[in-house]
Structures are given as structure tokens and as C-alpha cells.
Structure 1
Amino acid sequence: MTGTPTVTRSPPALIPPAGPTPGGTLPLSSIDKMVASLVNLIQVFPPSSLSAAHNDQRAAAAVAAMRNGFARALVPYYPVAGRVAPSGLVVDCTGEGIWFVEAAASCALADVDGLEGCPLLIPAELLLSCPPPGKKLDGFILMAQVTSFTCGGFAVGISFSHAVFDGQGAAQFLKAVGELARGLPELSVAPVWNRDAMPDPPVSPSPQQLTEFTFVTQVADISAASIERVKDEFKEKQAAATSTGEGCSTFDAVTAVVFKCRALALAAALPDDAELRVGFAAGTRHLLRGVLPAVDGYYGSSVYLACFSRTSRAVREAALAELVGAVRVAKDAVPARFTDWMRGGVGHYTVPLDYSTMILSNWRRLGFDEVDYGFGVPGYVFPFNEHVNFVGELYYVRPPAPRRGGVRVVLHCVEQPHAAVFASELAKFS
């Protein structure tokens, strides 16, 4: 390829539901209202047998089937075709539909490193849908853009409202789109709204004074060998302390690594007694059985923000096995703390949003990399949320195929003066 790759986009168009849908309003849950934000992700589909011949007609047919899948899915998922009301409390079931854009890149996926690099060789903004000029994003629930590449591969950019979906719920909806695009007669999982059945504690978190940071985006691969080494260290520590040799999860090991590496990167910027915090979104669907009439198929936000902290010096000097233990204690506390929140407990969902805090999300099992719109499953899925600059964020994703094994971490949590040290420390675990 010669020259800078370009992306030619069609004008945004609304895809309405394929059939009649109910009107009126539906309430959002208390958690929906607390986590309301915009989430962007890009699914990268390598050339499949369907498009290997580089046949434009075949690619057009695949995109048309995908559009049809969205239209059909918006019938059972009819709230998604509506808009979040200006109050932020309900969804207006207007049936307007979702914004959809078709686009074509001037290059092959291989020419832009499969969209795996950082920074991207095609600006992510060109791979994400947007409404027409003059139309505001206010109230939208989902937008999609499918970009075809000259090799026959695709990138699908999705933007969704966290007020209506959590990550697992958004993946559930996209899987439904894929099932209907592929011609399945019915969905494997029926959608469930039931937001009014969620607990609504009377005390809400106090608003915080937010500071905007200039975070840089980085990508680091934590190898399977490094993860196993941390797991072994923790198991040995447990065996020495309790004679049980209890193990830990990949999530625990990677979180300990990232926490320590970030503390080392910020050593010159923060005093030794500064409190460093890790917040993470813990799934609670299993704790909602008996609370919601139906949990399977529920696509609203059902995450609890767990948190733990240590001083900067303590994190820098701690063995990784010790930090793994801190992660596990925070995880083990989630059921009791979430139950306390459901009963009206105060002080939940509140984490200081400053440079000392990082919030992480584990996308490895949400299901975004299992979506098949008719051209196979993605080889790589990654978030793009550089608009969030008031708190550091990290995402755990699956490494691009075929380099499976280990964990890829997409990081947006340090400013430029600390980025080089952070990358250097993380590289020790690659």
C-alpha cells in the first residue's frame, strides 16, 4: 500500500425495527443511572471464506444481511430503537432505530497491522459511526459502522449507551443481531428488561469534583508464562501460610502486575504515603437470582464497583503474591457489599476519581469476540474510549488471533511523563 489509508463513509442512516414495537416509556434501574456513559469498541474480522475472493457483491450481501439482523433484533430489543429521555430516568420507546454507517477502507487489514497497533494506523474515529451533522448524540442507545477492507476483511465499530447495556448485555444484543443476520429463526436468548425490579436504594453517591487528565493510550501483552509464574508464587505463599496451596485466577495475577507496574511508573509523581486505588467492575447477575423475575437474558447494567487500595510505597515494595491477595480479598467481599447496597447501605459505588485511581474492566469473557454477523467471529476486539479522561481506565481483552494465550491490556491511565516507565515495567511480563 502506498499513501495514507482513507475511509469513505456513506451518510448515516437509521435502521428501524423490522416490525411493530410497543411505545411508551420504560424505567432505567438505579445502577443504569449510575454508570451512564458512552462505550466504544471495534471488532476486527479477518478475511473469511465468504469474502476471500474479494467479491464486492458478496461483501455487499454480507453487510445487507447484517443490516437486516439489526432490524430484526430491534423487534424483541425494542427499547434499543428508542432514546434515553433527557431526564436520564427512562427510555422513550420511540422506535426511531439505530444509526448505521457503511464504509470502505482504501487498504487491506494487513496494511494497517490488522488494527492491532497503538497508535492505530487508521484513526478509530473513522471506524465508529456518528449521527448526521446537526444531530446530537443525546439520548442515543446504539450506533454501528461496518467498514470493508480490500482484502475482504471487516471492522465493525459499535458505540453503546451504558445506561441501557452493560458489557455482557451489549454482547448479548450483538450476538442476537448475528443470529438473525445468519438466518436463525429465533434467538438463543430472549431479552429481559425488568429494570423496575432492581433495588433502588434512597442514598446516591455524592457528586465529585472532576479533573481532566491527558492520558495516553498504551497496549501491553502479559504472557501466559508470566501469569503462570505469578500464580505459582501466590500458591507457594498460600502453602507456606495455610498448607492449602490455594490458587488464584488469571484476573488476579494480571491485576497485581498492572497495579505494581503503575505504582512504579508514578513513584516520582506521588509521595510514598499517597493512596493508590484499583476499582473493578464485578458482575453480579448471579446475585440477582430471586431479585429479578428472570436473570437469563437481562441486558441492563448489573455491575458492582469493587475497590481496594494501598499506599504507593507499599505497592512498589510488595511481592506480587501479596498484591494478588489484596485483589482476592476485594473480590470475596463483593457478594456481601452488593447485598448491603441492595438493602440501602451507603458508601457504595463511590471511588475517588483522581490520578491515584485506575478502573479496570475484564472484557475477556463478555462475548464480544463470539459475535458472528455472517462473516465469522472476530480475530480481535478492543475498546476505544479516549474520551474518558477524568479517571484512568484499563481493559483486559483477548490477544489478537492467532496469538492466543496470555492477556492483552489496553491502558488509558497514565500521562505522558509516566508512560515510558509504565511501558518498560509492563514489558518485563511480556
Structure 2
Amino acid sequence: MTGTKTVAKSPPELIVPALTTPGGTLPLSSIDKAAGSAGLVNLIQVFAPPSFTAARMSQGAAAAMAAMRDGLARALVPYYPVAGRVAPSGLAVDCTGEGVWFVEAAASCALADVDGLGCCPLLIPGELLLPRPPPGEKLDGLILMVQATRFTCGGFAVGISFSHAVFDGQGAAQFLTAVGELARGLQAPSVIPVWDHDAIPDPPSPPPPQLTEFRLVTQVADISAESIARVKDDFKQAAATSTGEVCSTFDALTAVVFKCRALALASALPDDADVRIAFAAGTRHLLRGVLPAVDGYYGNCVYLACVTRAGKAVREASLAEVVGAVREAKEAVPARFAGWMRGVDHYDVPLDYSTVTVSDWSRVGFDEVDYGFGAPGYVFPLNDHVNFVASLNYVRPPAPRRGGIRVVLRCVEEPHAAAFAVELAKFA
């Protein structure tokens, strides 16, 4: 199909809780407040065409949309804070029961015409796939928005925007899983949601970081399963005579992207300048005994771990050595997080161009959500508006290309993009 790809959107509608829900104000945690500076996080879930006949296609699409609306309305009863708004102070949620914005849309093409949304740059403007409220509604207070876009083949793209002040990735996936379960007819979510944000300690906060706006380039790199296995084997051999440790897929990936980025930035930074890779380490298991109930908690439970080395040292180190540095940072998280809860340790990661931050979306659950037409074949972030933090996400590759991990990157500017791509291609 040739020509411009368009998306016709219906007017946004509010999906309100299916039953009356409690009012009042609920506090956000100190971790939420730190994460809230990220604003709204955008992602796209891509669902392949169902095995409907042509005669059933329209009926199936209408039923799918109706089921999603119903699932949202029912999920907003146990998850009633999500139907509210973040207070202007950014420190609490006002449980107003206003609901979440839902947009129904139709694309003028089939998913195959836009490569299943699996290429970079996208073959359809990304903003056409993301929900937006009506004019006059402020984005700052919104907690969740959904857009379901039907393609002519019968496939769907579900665009989600969620507030990082209320959810972390695992928490947002938990809510969307509940929406899917209720849309499929379950009587209640399989996981009962827990709020309890006020149970998390509130130590003194350090001054906000100094932010610089970059001109970041969006890139995609597929790291093959064979390359990941090779890095794991190299580390296993290097560690066999010393620690006997093993290397996880996350360790291998993080070592690869850290070293590749350091090589790409060689001309931009002095040899002795520090380069850093920071990653959001999950801390739910460290909050047992702090939170009344950890299972079902959907607020932010992350601590930013960081590896800092001189650029030249990273460039010249073996991947096994870089893996070792990543593992050291991971192993330090429990002690660092405990120190943070006591107020004696602080986030101290400069968010300048020498730092890249990692989020691992390959296992949080976004690609397991089933709204009634199966799990998505591909899930990816769409945050091209974020230019203050150099960042990357690990995701599962599109279904036809399964194997390895896809890295969605916004962490270098144009002068370094080609060199970065060349280094990453060595691991394809």
C-alpha cells in the first residue's frame, strides 16, 4: 500500500469506574515523587490480526472495543486511584473518580503496510497511535490514557500513556493485566491491588539534578541470542577461577550497550572523563516488612543503580570485565537502598550526556496482557519527546523475529549515532 498512512480518531471519552469508588486524597511515596519527574510514559502494544473471517471482522472489532471499555471500567473499581488525578503539588492523588481517557481509532492501512510497527523510524507517525485528551485537559494530572487503533487487517495497536508518579513498569503492567482479565470476563483481577504508598519511608531528598536538553536520536538494535550467549560464556570462563559467578541476560546486554556507547563517545569525551550506565533495579523484594503487603503493590519500587568508570577504561576493558562491574552495582543495591531508606544514602547519578539509563521491559509483563484477542506480538516505548535523559529500553523483538533482545535507544545525539550503530551491529 502506498500513500500517506492516516489514523481517524474518535473524540476522547472518559471511562469512569463501573461502581461508586472512595473519594479523598492518597499520598504518593518518596520513590513516586522522584519517578514523577519522568511525567507520562508512552508504550505501544501491537496485536496481530485475529483469525476472523472477513464477515466477522467488523463484529469482532466492535466486540473487542466494547470489552476493553468494560474491562477498564471494572478495573477502575479496585484500582480507584487511577481514575483520579495527580494533585497539583505532585505529592498525592486526588481520588476524584473522573475516569481515564479512552480513544477509539482506525488506521487507513494494514499492519503489514507499516512493517508491523517493528521498524525504526516508524512508517506511521507515532503520535497518531497515542491517546490524547480533549483540548483544555491538562496532561500533568492524568494518570492513565488508552487508545485502541484498529488496522484494516483486523490487527490492533493499543497505545498507553501512564503517569510514572503512580506506576512503575511492573505496576502499570499489573493494572493492564487486570483490565485484560476483566475484559475477558473474569469476575475479579487475579492480583488484588495494594496502595499503601505512605508505608515507604520519606528520607530527606537531595537537590533536584541539573538537567540539560539533548537532541537525542531514536535507534533500534537487535542483540542476538548467540551474542548474549557468547558474552555469558566469556564471563563464565573469566569467573571460573575466581568467583564462580554466572552472568544473566541483563548483565550481558548492559555490558554490551555500555561498552558500545563508550566507544561511540570516544571523540566527545576526554579519556579520563567518567561514563556511566544507570539502571532501575527492582526493590519489591526489599520492601517486605516495610509494606503491609508487597504482592499487588503497583507504585514505584525501583532504585537507580549505577556503574561509573573512565571512558578509556570501559573502551579497553573486556566485556567480561564490564559484566563484572554491572554485577557489582547490582549486588550493592540492597545495602544502598537500605541506606536510602534510613536517609544516609541518596541518588547521586548525574543526568548529563555521559550517563545512560536502562529500563528492562522484557520481563515486566506488558507483552503478556490479553484484552481478549491474545497477547501482543510486540511492545515498544514511544517517548521521543523525552530529551533530558539519555535512555534505552530492553524489549522482546517482534513475534516474527523472536530470539535475542531488542534495544530501543534514545541515548546519543546525531554526531555519535552512526558510530554507535556500527558497534551495536557487531552483536546482531
Which residue of the partner structure matches residue 145 of structure 1?
Answer: 147
* Inter-partner Cα distance in structure 1 for 2:304 and 2:364: 17
String of CA shifts for 1:337-363, please: whole Å, max 9, x gaps: 1111111123x2231011000000001
Paired residue secondary structure (1:55): helix
Residues 260, 54 of structure 1: CA spacing in aligned structure 2 closer, same or farther, 3 A cutoff? farther
Which residue of the partner structure matches residue 299 of structure 2?
Answer: 300
Which residue of the partner structure matches residue 212 of structure 1?
Answer: 213
String of CA shifts for 1:49-73, please: whole Å, max 9, x gaps: 2577661121011111101100000
String of CA shifts for 1:242-287, please: whole Å, max 9, x gaps: 5x3x321000001000001001111111110110001100000001
Q: Is the 8 A contact 1:54 1:150 kept in 2?
A: no
String of CA shifts for 1:201-239, please: whole Å, max 9, x gaps: 1x2021222110000000000000000100111011111
Residues 52, 305 of structure 1: CA spacing in aligned structure 2 closer, same or farther, 3 A cutoff? farther
Q: Give the alignment of 1:73-84 within 5 angstroms.
A: 73-84=75-86
Residue in structure 1 matching 2:198, options 184, 196, 199? 196
Residue in structure 1 matching 2:98, options 96, 99, 104? 96
Residue in structure 2 matching 1:404, options 402, 405, 411? 402
Q: Is the 8 A contact 1:211 1:390 kept in 2?
A: yes
* CA positional deviation for 1:240: 3.4
Q: What one-letter code is carried by the residue in structure 2 that aligns with 1:93?
A: C
* Inter-partner Cα distance in structure 2 for 1:307 and 1:38: 24
Q: What one-letter code is carried by the residue in structure 1 that aligns with 2:335?
A: A
Q: Is the 8 A contact 1:163 1:301 kept in 2?
A: yes
Which residue of the partner structure matches residue 350 of structure 1?
Answer: 348
Paired residue secondary structure (1:402): helix
TM-score between both structures, scaled by the size of structure 2: 0.98
Residues 272, 3 of structure 1: CA spacing in aligned structure 2 closer, same or farther, 3 A cutoff? same
Paired residue secondary structure (2:411): strand
Matched, 1:229 2:230: yes
Which residue of the partner structure matches residue 174 of structure 1?
Answer: 176
Which residue of the partner structure matches residue 284 of structure 1?
Answer: 283
* Inter-partner Cα distance in structure 1 for 2:120 and 2:325: 31
Q: Is the 8 A contact 1:51 1:59 kept in 2?
A: no
Q: Give the alignment of 1:360-399 within 5 angstroms.
A: 360-399=358-397
Residues 51, 227 of structure 1: CA spacing in aligned structure 2 closer, same or farther, 3 A cutoff? farther
Q: Give the alignment of 1:114-193 within 5 angstroms.
A: 114-193=116-195
Identity %: 77
After the TM superposition, which of the residue ranges 290-299 and 41-50 deviates more from structure 2?
A: 41-50
* CA positional deviation for 1:134: 2.1
Matched, 1:21 2:21: yes
Residue in structure 1 matching 2:59, options 57, 78, 84? 57
Paired residue secondary structure (2:260): helix
Q: What one-letter code is carried by the residue in structure 2 that aligns with 1:196?
A: D
Q: Is the 8 A contact 1:54 1:152 kept in 2?
A: no
Q: Is the 8 A contact 1:52 1:151 kept in 2?
A: no
User: Which structure 1 residue ranges, 5 or more long, are not aligned?
Assistant: none
Q: What one-letter code is carried by the residue in structure 2 that aligns with 1:151?
A: C
What is the number of equivalent residue pairs in this alignment? 426
Matched, 1:267 2:277: no
Q: Is the 8 A contact 1:51 1:58 kept in 2?
A: no
Which residue of the partner structure matches residue 413 of structure 1?
Answer: 411
* CA positional deviation for 1:308: 1.1
Paired residue secondary structure (2:237): helix
Which residue of the partner structure matches residue 426 of structure 1?
Answer: 424
Paired residue secondary structure (1:49): coil
* Inter-partner Cα distance in structure 1 for 2:56 and 2:409: 35
Which residue of the partner structure matches residue 321 of structure 2?
Answer: 322
Query: RMSD in angstroms over aligned alpha carbons?
Result: 1.1
* Inter-partner Cα distance in structure 2 for 1:28 and 1:361: 22
* Inter-partner Cα distance in structure 2 for 1:51 and 1:212: 49
Which residue of the partner structure matches residue 248 of structure 2?
Answer: 249
String of CA shifts for 1:107-165, please: whole Å, max 9, x gaps: 00000000000000111110000011222212000000000001110000000001110
User: Which structure 2 residue ranges, 5 or more long, are not aligned?
Assistant: none
Q: What one-letter code is carried by the residue in structure 2 that aligns with 1:355?
A: Y
* Inter-partner Cα distance in structure 1 for 2:126 and 2:54: 25
Q: Is the 8 A contact 1:5 1:106 kept in 2?
A: yes
Runs (4+) of structure 1 exceeding 2 A deviation are: 49-54
Paired residue secondary structure (1:411): strand
* Inter-partner Cα distance in structure 1 for 2:242 and 2:224: 27
After the TM superposition, which of the residue ranges 278-287 and 129-138 deviates more from structure 2?
A: 129-138
Q: Is the 8 A contact 1:51 1:152 kept in 2?
A: no
